[in-house]
Amino acid sequence: MMLEKEFTITNKNGMHARPAAQFVKHASQFQCEIWMEKDDEQVNGKSIMGLMMLAAARGETVKLTAEGADAEKAMKDLGDLIETGFGDVE
Amino acid sequence: MSSIPHKVRRPGFITVGQFFQENQGPLKLKLIGENAGSLRKIQEPSINRPGLALSGFFDYFAFKRVQVIGNSELAFLEGLDKNARLRRYEALCGWDIPCIVVARGRIVPEDLIQAANKAGISVYQTSMVTMKFINLATMRLDWAFSPSTTAHGSMVDVQGIGVLIAGPSGSGKSESVIGLLQRGASLVADDAVRLRLSEEREVVGSSPDITRSKIEVRGLGILDVARLFGVGSVRLSKRLDLIVHLRVGIELHELERVGAEVRTEDILGLPIPSVDLPVAPGRDISGLIELAALNFKLKAFGYDSAADFNETLLKKMANDQLG
C-alpha cells in the first residue's frame, strides 16, 4: 500500500535536530518505507541527516509518502507528530 | 535485487535572480541600473547574441536565452543615430527575454538600461571577453539545468574511487564510513547524497551545504568529520564510480561468487556498476568496501581478476584434454 499526504510544519523553530530525531524515532518503529519531500527534494524519513537537509521551517509544507504493510498506521502516527509540533519541542 | 529509488528533478527554468546569485563571482557579473527583472525565467541553458535582432531581423530569434551584447553589437549600434538606436533597444526589450549582459566591461549605453528597465528586464555587465563569457555561462547553465536527485546513502572517496554506500536504515552505512575515514578515505556526504548528471557522461555526488562534513553515528549522535579527522577528510564533490549495497539477512545463493558479471544500475540515465555486500557480525565491512573500490580500480586499469582466473582455468582444462 502506498499513501501520500501533505502536512504543514507548525512548531516554532521548524524541523531542527530534536524534532528530526523525534520523527526518525517514530518512523523507525514501522516496517514500511517512509519518504519526506519538500520542494521536489525527497529524502528517507528514517534518516536524521536527510530530514535536516530539507530544513523545513515553520509554515512550510512537506509531503509524506509511506509504502508498505503498515503504511496507514505510520501515516497517522507521523502526521499527528508533525501536527502537534513534534510533541511540543520548540 | 532492488536498486536505489530516486526521484529525479529536471528544472524547466531558473530565474535570472538565481542565475545571478550563483554565478556573479565566476562570470564576473555586475548589475547595472535597476534590479527590474530578477524573477524572469531563463528557459534554455544557452546564450544568444542578438546581433540580427538588433538589426531588425526577428525571425528565429532565440528570445528564451540570456542575451549577450559584445563588441560587434555595440559597434553596430554606435553607427546608428540616437532615435534609431532607441527603437532597436525597445524592439529587443519588447520580447520576453530573460536578461541582457554586456560583455568586455564595456559601458552599458544609458538608453539600453532605460529601455530594458522600463520593460522589466535587468541589465548586467561582465568584464569577461564575450566568447569566454559565452563558454563559461553555457557550462554553468548546463549544470543548473541538468537532472539531479537525492539518494539515500553515504558517499565516500576511497583511493580516488567515488563509492556510494547504500542500504536500509540500520545496516551500518555510517559506521562503515567511519571505518573508511580511519583508513584514509574522505567523506562526500552521509545518509543523503545529491547526485547530478554532468554533461550526460558522469554522475557527480555532493553534500547539501547544511549537512556537509556531518555524519550521524548511532549512539554518538551527529559528528563533524573535518574537525575530528582533519579537513582533508572531506570532499566537496566526487564522480560516482561504484555503488555498494549493504545487504542484511541475505541468502548465500543470491550473491555473486565469482565476480565475473558486472552488474550496473541506472542512476540519472547512466549505468553505474554496483555490488552487494552481505552484512553479518564479524565481517569487516569497511575493509570489504575498500577492497571493492580497489578491485573496481583494477578493472578500470584493464585487469579483471575473475576473468583472468577463469581464462587460466579454461586453458589448463584444454591442455589436460589434449594431453
Q: How far is B220 from chain A (nearest CA, A)?
A: 13
pLDDT tens by residue, B154-195: 999 999 999 999 998 888 999 999 999 999 999 999 999 999
Is 0.90 exceeded by the ipTM?
no
pLDDT tens by residue, B235-262: 999 999 999 999 988 777 777 777 767 7
- Number of domains chain A is built from: 1
| Of B25 and B7, the one with more pLDDT | B25
> Is the pLDDT assigned to residue B47 strictly greater than 50?
yes
Range of the domain at A9: 2-88
User: Using 50, 70 and 90 to split pLDDT, how confident is the model at B103?
Assistant: very high
DSSP calls for B172-210: SHHHHHHHHHHTT-EEEESS-EEEEEETTTEEEEE--GG
User: Using 50, 70 and 90 to split pLDDT, how confident is the model at A88?
Assistant: low
Interface test with A, best of B6, B10, B14, B152 (most A CBs within 10 A): B152
CA distance linking residue B80 with residue B63, whole number of Å:
23
Q: How far is B173 from chain A (nearest CA, A)?
A: 11
B148-309: CATH architecture:
3-Layer(aba) Sandwich (3.40)
CA distance linking residue B319 with residue B304, whole number of Å:
23
- Give the CATH number for residue A6: 3.30.1340.10
Class of domain B14-145: alpha beta
> Is the pLDDT assigned to residue B296 strictly greater than 70?
yes
A26 is catalytic: no
User: Using 50, 70 and 90 to split pLDDT, how confident is the model at B300?
Assistant: confident
CB pairs under 8 A between A and B: 46
Q: CB count, 10 Å around CB of B121?
A: 25
- Pair type for strands B66-69 and B99-102: parallel
pLDDT tens by residue, B55-90: 999 999 999 999 999 999 999 999 999 999 999 999
Question: How far, in Å, are A20, A38, A53, B1, B137 from residue A67 at the CA level?
Answer: 20, 18, 22, 18, 42
CA neighbor of B113 nearest in space, from B123, B127, B98: B123
pLDDT tens by residue, A18-58: 999 999 999 999 999 999 999 888 999 999 999 999 999 99
| Run of H or E residues at A33 | strand A33-38
> Is the pLDDT assigned to residue B39 strictly greater than 80?
yes
What mean pLDDT is reported for chain A?
A: 91
B142 is catalytic: no
Assign B150 to helix, strand or coil. strand
What mean pLDDT is reported for chain B?
A: 92
User: Using 50, 70 and 90 to split pLDDT, how confident is the model at A89?
Assistant: low
Q: Shortest CB distance from A52 goes to which of B150, B169, B210?
A: B210
pLDDT at B1 (0 to 100): 43
User: Using 50, 70 and 90 to split pLDDT, how confident is the model at B38?
Assistant: very high
**B319, three cell numbers:** 591442455
Question: Range(s) for CATH 3.40.50.300 in chain B?
Answer: 148-309
Which residue, chain included where needed, has cell 543470491?
B254
pLDDT tens by residue, A60-86: 999 999 999 999 999 999 999 999 988
CA distance linking residue A44 with residue B267, whole number of Å:
17
B245 is catalytic: no
- B191/A49 touch (CB, cutoff 8 Å), yes or no: yes
**A50, three cell numbers:** 536527510
Which residue, chain included where needed, has cell 587460466?
B312
